[in-house]
Structure 1
């Protein structure tokens, strides 16, 4: 059993020397990179140190050669004996005597170590051989499976080709379907493009009078959606210098507007009715006007206000209530409101006035929602001012949609010269208009909106 170390430039050089010394019957125990030469570790050359174990040399060396290489080649016997002798001397120094059977035990131990090493090497060879055989078997099985799958796929392709009409393969049929879908998509796209071009021609064709009509519709307070709807319906080619007196054109616009607005013609004013809306739009005055309408019908009505933000609000409402002979109550908390509503069960109608809330203040809107959830009104009316532009009205509705209003009331029609915003908000919200107010007089300046009158006012604004 021989152990030898090689100092080489690369592993290939080591393998050549190992084969030359030991043939193929050798095992590499260890390899590591080392540096030789240089100055304090700098500039040295890199080498690979390879440690090899072999049972025997390929060619016997003479004793002189063996002696000259004694620093790099050791027999297993020499290594074992040297270690045992060293151990024996150490024990002898400690105990003062030596064991007579030390030499005999060393020989037995040496033979046992050599036998164990040989058994380990043989077992590694068997494991390596077993792994090679299993790898070869696995490769052959995978190769057979692949060939079988490939054969089945080729067979299926042939069967599909035979069954497919006109000799088309399955892939050809799929490609044909994709092409058909693509053609349909292109046709739909072309149709959409034609419609867009047609619409653009309607809007942009003609002359300056088309643009004038469009601008006047916008200035009348109509939303962008309604303006586009009108421009799609009218024949732009017939819009001339005298379009403002074109009865056919104006009637067509009027009919479109009549369809876009909803008006609640019924006097459905029973149960708990709550008015909500932003500040300064006349909710309190409007509520007093509605109370007067109900009182005239000999119905039992009561007024409740939760507007405690304005000092004069409750006093103003009480004055109206005293004049009309109607009971009025002020509630400061949702609990107060709940108890008051329960005490007024015999009333036909309970009108609830709320504090004006900024549609940009989420906290105030949250407080309003708390009062509303306490009493669960039968009807919630969003009150809006007519002198507010369409975009702001839509923004107000979006914020107050937390209250889920059922209808609309527009105030201050006497303070605006355009009426298109009323139609625009009704169309946007899909809510009917209950009332419009035209002044401060209670109970006179309130009325049900009239389709023809309201739309005619819009037309007047367009042709002015």
Structure 2
């Protein structure tokens, strides 16, 4: 079998080329529209790419001219097993490249871009976003004479693409333009410790008069942990078991500048718990809700948790446990998916030290550096 790829301005021209070279017995295996340029189809002029094959056990019919016996015998010769295997492998490679994201797709990138592609895979950037980024980097490589660029220049291109991917999200810490910060999240993400870090920043740096309210009555340890932090910071704690308790607590704390609300750390993949939270909490214009997610979690789990919070408006994301993983791509994935930015990043258990304001720049810088 002989397999070949053709490029032409339209199908009619492609068919003419195929008939002239392979004859009327050739068959079309695949076709797609590409952009002229001959390299992964990333240039401006439209063309068509066709993969055709000829079973050489049949003599190709190129014209009505008489074919000599010698020539006919040559066309009827069968390929060796090695030749056939090689052509089948080439066919598989071409079809995989046409699909755009198979293991061999990156083989056609310039060496410097192969490095970037490998890094994005290693950081678990979602394949859809990775394909978009690499397509744009490749286009820029040729338009800006990438062969003469240094690796640092290419990393700047990468940062630009990642910024575009997360440009619709809003970043930055709580600005105290609202009185209440409601912190929610599943179990095991370090929610209560994060709450204490935010409170410490408010007390020590912003000189705010701070108080805690907790609705996490399912775990005695969580209440005791929050009370310990409150004692260290010399701030009050109110425990709310119902909506009535919650309203009364806020009334008692009305003279405070900033009130942090610690919600129950339960399994938010179950929508019932979010509904219960919605019943006990009063989400109003004076409240911001920040969802805590651990970057050690799987991306699909983060998506599921965020999806369950459709009943409650999530204003920002807090990413914890950055010190416990080398893979940060899930942060970019979830921000790009949801268009929700981040307020804080935490990097350890120390209160109040291991927390920093989340900005688009420091999230992307961490990702690129790793």
TM range (shorter): 0.5 to 0.7
Contact 2:106 2:114 in 1 (8 A): no
Name the residue aligned to 1:260. Answer: 165
Give 1 or 2: higher helix fraction. Answer: 1
Identify if the C-alpha distance between structure 1 residues 319 and 246 changes in structure 2 by more than 3 Å, giving closer, same or farther. same
* CA–CA distance in structure 2, aligned partners of residues 205 and 243 of structure 1: 20
Name the residue aligned to 2:305. Answer: 396
Identify if the C-alpha distance between structure 1 residues 344 and 216 changes in structure 2 by more than 3 Å, giving closer, same or farther. same
Identify if the C-alpha distance between structure 1 residues 374 and 255 changes in structure 2 by more than 3 Å, giving closer, same or farther. closer
Name the residue aligned to 2:255. Answer: 346
Pairs aligned (count): 268
Runs (5+) with no aligned partner, structure 2: 1-31, 43-96
Structure 1 residue 198 corresponds to structure 2 residue 198: no
- Deviation by residue 1:65-115 (Cα, 9 ceiling, x = unmatched): xxxxxxxxxxxxxxxxxxxxxxxxxxxxxxxxxxxxxxxxxxxxxxxxxxx
* CA–CA distance in structure 2, aligned partners of residues 205 and 220 of structure 1: 16
- Deviation by residue 1:234-275 (Cα, 9 ceiling, x = unmatched): 227969xx9997333322111111233345335413311111
Identify if the C-alpha distance between structure 1 residues 390 and 280 changes in structure 2 by more than 3 Å, giving closer, same or farther. same
Task: Please point out which of 272, 286, 299 is paired with 1:363.
Answer: 272
Name the residue aligned to 2:131. Answer: 228
Specify the structure having the higher radius of gyration (Cα): 1
Give the deviation of 1:362 after TM superposition. 2.2
Identify if the C-alpha distance between structure 1 residues 233 and 435 changes in structure 2 by more than 3 Å, giving closer, same or farther. same
* CA–CA distance in structure 1, aligned partners of residues 236 and 186 of structure 2: 25
Structure 1 residue 306 corresponds to structure 2 residue 215: yes
Structure 1 residue 274 corresponds to structure 2 residue 182: yes
Name the residue aligned to 2:48. Answer: none
Q: Supply the RMSD in Å over aligned alpha carbons.
A: 3.0
Identify if the C-alpha distance between structure 1 residues 338 and 195 changes in structure 2 by more than 3 Å, giving closer, same or farther. farther
TM-score where L is the length of structure 1: 0.52
Identify if the C-alpha distance between structure 1 residues 227 and 243 changes in structure 2 by more than 3 Å, giving closer, same or farther. farther
Identify if the C-alpha distance between structure 1 residues 329 and 243 changes in structure 2 by more than 3 Å, giving closer, same or farther. farther
For 1:61-460, what aligned pairs fall within 5 Å after superposition?
Answer: 193-194=33-34, 198=41, 204=105, 207=108, 213-235=116-138, 246-261=151-166, 262=169, 264-265=171-172, 267-269=174-176, 270-296=178-204, 297-373=206-282, 378-460=287-369
Contact 1:206 1:237 in 2 (8 A): no
Contact 1:274 1:377 in 2 (8 A): no
Contact 2:171 2:359 in 1 (8 A): no
Q: Which has the higher contact order (CA 8 A, sep 6+)?
A: 2
- Deviation by residue 1:120-147 (Cα, 9 ceiling, x = unmatched): xxxxxxxxxxxxxxxxxxxxxxxxxxxx
> For structure 1, which segment, 370-379 or 290-299, has the greater mean C-alpha deviation from structure 2 after superposition?
370-379
* CA–CA distance in structure 2, aligned partners of residues 244 and 390 of structure 1: 34
Runs (5+) with no aligned partner, structure 1: 1-191
- Deviation by residue 1:353-397 (Cα, 9 ceiling, x = unmatched): 011121322221211111224767510111110111322211211
> For structure 1, which segment, 210-219 or 286-295, has the greater mean C-alpha deviation from structure 2 after superposition?
210-219
Identify if the C-alpha distance between structure 1 residues 206 and 373 changes in structure 2 by more than 3 Å, giving closer, same or farther. same
